[in-house]
Amino acid sequence: MLKDIQNQHDDRQIPIWKAGIKNLLYPVDVLDRENKVQHTVARVSLFVDLPHHFKGTHMSRFVEILDEQRGKISLRNIGTILRTMTDRFDCTTAHLEIRFPYFVEKTAPVSKTRSLMDYQCAFLASFDRQHEPHAQDLIVEVVVPVATLCPCSKEISDQGAHSQRSWITLRVRSHELVWIEELIAITEAEASSGLYSLLKREDEKQVTEQAYARPRFAEDMARAIAQKLRQDKRIIWFQVESENMESIHNHNAYAMVISAKA
């Protein structure tokens, strides 16, 4: 019989908050507002707490749990996966991170050319069986790339203004489904301009002129998006991060707003 090293006793008296596996590539299904389901490939991380007296955790069990849900991994059964982890590892807490590209078909503003735009998204879930009936927590994360034009640069310049690509990261907790597409739309509406995979010359002209007419600081976007999220009664908590990859500085501009709601 092979020796089980992980189950051997550890005498250092130091519990580990998270032990597990990171960045396992795995197929998942994501709810799609237009097409019902979108099949994508995620980087999955799974962790459990490890009591101080155990030397290590069993890495193979994490993959076994995922394989038992193969073809069914989605937002609907995250709770099942987390509960299975706490049962299988005989632990108190479990954590699951599913990070994936999500594709939305966008239409160019003038030519009406259609193309797919990718957004980096994540489901960040945890389960603590000591806190029933509110043991499960789920945060939906969406990273939206946009274009911004500097209000200060526009104000002080006789010709033109500097612009940059920016990243808006939204994290929300909600008691009802909030579509990824809704979060993207809220974000792009508050930027100088959204981004597109495919633009014709007439579209570039429109997008450039729109951005020039709508200058935005990082702070402007963070506040405006937060204001909209506050008005959505489905959302019980949110965090907005706005980061501009500055085109004329060697640093980034950054702003963050966190909801006061728990």
Six-digit token string for 58: 């069993």
DSSP secondary structure string for all residues of the chain: ----STTSB--S---EEEEEEEEEEEEEEEEETTTEEEEEEEEEEEEEEE-TTBS---HHHHHHHHHHTTTT-SGGGHHHHHHHHHHHHT-SEEEEEEEEEEEEEEE-TTT--EEEEEEEEEEEEEEEGGGTTS-EEEEEEEEEEEEEE-HHHHHH-SS---EEEEEEEEEEEESS---HHHHHHHHHHTSSEE--S---HHHHHHHHHHHHHS---HHHHHHHHHHHHHT-TTEEEEEEEEEE--SSSSS-EEEEEE-S--
Report how far residue 148's alpha carbon sits from residue 73's, in angstroms, rounded to the nearest whole number.
36
Q: Within 10 A of 5 (CB to CB), how many other CB atoms are there? A: 8
Is residue 14 over pLDDT 80?
no
The structure's pTM equals 0.89
All structural domains of the chain:
17-258 (3.10.270.10)
Q: Tell me: the pLDDT tens digits for 129-170?
A: 888 767 899 999 999 999 999 999 999 998 888 889 999 999
Over the chain, what is the mean pLDDT? 90
CA-wise closest residue to 38 among 30, 49, 28: 30
Out of 10-19, 22-31, 41-50, 87-96, pick the least confident: 10-19
* Residue 2 confidence (pLDDT) above 60: no
- Nearest alpha-carbon partner for 124 in 143, 142, 102, 139: 139
pLDDT at residue 166, rounded to an integer: 95
CB atoms within 10 A of CB 61: 18
**Percent of the chain with pLDDT strictly greater than 90:** 70
Whole-number Å distance between alpha carbons of 219 and 223: 6
State how far the Cα of 247 lies from the Cα of 164, in Å rounded to an integer.
Answer: 6
pLDDT in tens, 54-77: 555 678 899 999 999 887 777 788
